Amino acid sequence: MKLSTVRLGQNRTAAARLQKKHCVLLPYPDVGALIASGGDWWERAGADTGERHRLDDISYAPLIVRPGKMVAVGPNHAVRVRELGCPVPAAPEFSLRNGGHVVVGAEDDIRVPAEGQDVFWGVELGVVIGRRARDVTARTALGHVAGYTVVNDVAVGNGPQDIPSTAVATVVGPALVTTDDVPIGARGLTMNCLVDGRVRQKASTSELLFDVATVIAHVSRSVTLLPGDLITTGTPTGTGTSQEREEHPRPRTQVTSVIRGVGELRNAVIRPSPQ
């Protein structure tokens, strides 16, 4: 099953179940609210009584409009560790974002500061929690997952070793693919990030240093994960314009983030015009 959050006018959103050519609206403001509404959210997500809209007529809001918690894991790819020149972590390293972070939709424009700073991006597998998790084991961790989505963290900075310093926005969407429609632990899925049609990142979810189950188990030792919380599992190498510094950065850059079998984000990154 694929679930998304769609825009209904300027200030209204709704969770929706995606079909081949249409979507069925669900009585929740976003997918996060649906998942947090109770343990039987799966059955209610499959209800066929909602209003229908053609997919060609909708736009995608952030999958989870206001995440309760966002857990950012990384570095979690060996190539990224080498790129940063840091030791291979002995356990998943993560940071916690509680509210206030800018989250945007799968086709939204992203505005960054004027030229002078590098822009960083990074395709990541996103894990949405479906059931409360605290002190769970790796053996049982996947039973707490609602599904998977595509994430791209956009940031700016000019620090050493390609480390972004200021977060701009996190793109999440376009859909949550439930666990029955992906391989166990979302392993073996190809990840790509293209910039103006050129491949800048290419990896597989099987290359994660710490798989989804290990990440959830480790995080749950110190953080109580609740339904609708989002975990980002780390990006591979090749994360930004500092890879190829441009004397005159383009005012509009198309960034496409794809995870096979999960979804595709297409965002224009826009710099303001020079004064």
pLDDT at residue 36 greater than cutoff 60: yes
Whether the upstream peptide bond of residue 174 has omega within 30° of 0, thus cis, is yes
68 or 1, higher pLDDT: 1
Please report which confidence band the pLDDT of residue 116 belongs to, taking 50, 70 and 90 as the band edges. Answer: low
Alpha helices in 62-189 (DSSP H): 78-84
Rounded Cα gap, residues 121 and 65, in angstroms: 20
pTM of the predicted structure, to 2 decimals: 0.93
Q: State the pLDDT confidence band at 245, using cuts at 50, 70 and 90.
A: very low
| More confident site: 273 or 83 | 83
Q: What is the enclosing helix (H) or strand (E) of 173? A: strand 166-178
Q: pLDDT-derived band of residue 241, with 50, 70 and 90 as boundaries? A: low
The proportion of the chain whose per-residue pLDDT surpasses 70, expressed as a percent, equals 91
Please report which helix (H) or strand (E) contains residue 185, including its range.
none
Residue type, 116: G
Class of domain 70-270: alpha beta
C-alpha triplet 147, 156, 161: angle, nearest 5°:
95
Which residue in this structure is represented by tokens 């293209």? Answer: 194
Q: Kindly state the average pLDDT of the residues 143-164.
A: 82
pLDDT in tens, 90-113: 999 999 987 667 899 999 999 987
| Residue 165: predicted pLDDT | 63
Of the CA atoms within 13 Å of residue 46, those in its CB half-sphere come to 5
Q: What is the pLDDT of residues 37-49, one digit of tens each?
A: 999 999 999 988 8
Q: Look at residue 164 and tell me whether its pLDDT is greater than 60.
A: no
Q: Between 107 and 50, name the one with better pLDDT.
A: 107
**Higher per-residue confidence, 164 vs 192:** 192
pLDDT class of 243 with cuts at 50, 70, 90: very low
